[in-house]
Amino acid sequence: MRVLMFGWEFPPHITGGLGTACFGLTKGLIKLGTEIIFVVPKAYGDEASQGFRLINASDVTMDFMESEQQEFWNRIKYMEIGSNLIPYVGEEEFETLIEMDERLLSEQNKSVFSNKFTFSGKYGKNLMLEVSRYALIASSIASQENYDLIHAHDWLTYPAGIAAKHISGKPLIIHVHATEFDRSGENVNSIVYDIEKKGMEEADRIITVSNLTRQIVIEKYGIDPSKVYTVHNAVEPSGRPDLVDVTKHVKEKVVTFLGRVTYQKGPDYFVEAAHKVLKKDRNVRFVMAGSGDLLNRMVRRIAKLRMGTRFHFTGFLAGQEVDTMFAMSDVYVMPSVSEPFGISPLEAMRSNVPVVISKQSGVSEVLKHAIKVDFWDIDAMADAIYGILHYEGLQKTFAMYGKEEVDNLKWENAAYNILEVYKTVL
């Protein structure tokens, strides 16, 4: 079986769990004999692409003289114009984008027109423009490659998956790693929501990373439950000896939050729980590892609560830095308001770190040896942190059995379940 797969990022160039999950699933599918053609907007040349083809969309030339690609260009250009209606774009930038669209549309009318689009592969102000152009490139790739089905990861690639399906007539599977309701609560970006809904409607099958996400897809997007399947994520084996040589530099216990500092991840609940713990025990240090739009607010709140000497900010961490942070941690906390899955607790448990996670997370569906609390219950969260820090038997139990548990959550098993979904459309 050969799969044409669309993603937005791939290790080592990642900003969160999406790229990590794509890497794990790809490796698992290859182990089970699946051939993968993996497309990303921008490849850097150092991606770990053993066993599969990695296509850099920035290297693909579009030929608009081909009738099929011309037809898709006529459809996709309207999406490009609509993509200007996005937040965080100032008046001058908006005018620039309009001029850019007008120039592109006039170029499209030339009798001979071929071009390459250079993608940033980032999540900046031109994101919607890149999403639509990525779909355009997908139509070209889809017309040239040989494959059995299409697999698109997260909303950024749904238009690309749809384009490939229209060109090839092959089945489309979309993989929902998160929804706009997870990222924004009820204040959804209507354009992103529309893209997600269109992808779900066009897809032959939908894979969600948890039952929690499956219910959102069914209830919030009005999708037929019969085509929505849950396949839980997993975690990569450590592949390296325990980081016993890591120097902690502080004598106090360390409690860590690692993730985007955004509404979805619940950093403010972590801060309030930390305040309650420090009222009982000042010999604890709290770490917020990550970046995001709520970071400055967290800094101000910590200053107001006079916790500055017991609270540390590391900025975004990746790769070896994450392993080092876990090696220095005594407790990991994931207080997410809405977490489709959440791979970071598995990474912490793999490093023998006990975890406290919110019940509003997909990973809580598969973990037994984790303390689960409601994200809003800062008293329960503080009690869980304090208990693990002060009761050695509790800490050892969760660390030992937690590691055994995550060692059995393999990407190969997740890949097997995905293959079973593939079989329903082939």
354-381 confidence digits (pLDDT tens): 999 999 999 999 999 999 999 999 999 9
pLDDT tier at 87 (50, 70, 90 boundaries)? very low
Tokens 């139990």 identify what position? Answer: 397
pLDDT tier at 254 (50, 70, 90 boundaries)? very high
Nearest to 78 by CA among 105, 116, 97, 111: 105
Q: Which residues contact 268 (CB under 8 A, 6 or more apart)?
A: 294, 297, 298, 301
Residue type, 141: I
Question: Rounded to 5 degrees, what are φ and ψ at 111?
Answer: -70, -35
User: What string of DSSP letters covers 66-94?
Assistant: SHHHHHHHHHHHHHHHHTT--TT--HHHH
The full set of domains in the chain, from first to last, is: 2-234+414-423 (3.40.50.2000), 253-407 (3.40.50.2000)
380-426 confidence digits (pLDDT tens): 999 999 999 999 898 899 988 988 899 889 999 999 999 999 999 99
DSSP state of 225: G
Q: Report yes or no on whether pTM surpasses 0.95.
A: no
374-392 confidence digits (pLDDT tens): 999 999 999 999 999 999 8
Return the ∠ at Cα 251 (arms to 246 and 256), rounded to 5°. 65
pLDDT tier at 238 (50, 70, 90 boundaries)? low
Please give the Cα distance from 355 to 344 (Å, whole number).
Answer: 10
Nearest to 212 by CA among 185, 177, 236: 177
Please give the Cα distance from 129 to 78 (Å, whole number).
Answer: 11
Please give the Cα distance from 148 to 168 (Å, whole number).
Answer: 10
Mean predicted confidence (pLDDT) in 62-81: 50
Nearest to 369 by CA among 380, 383, 382, 355: 355
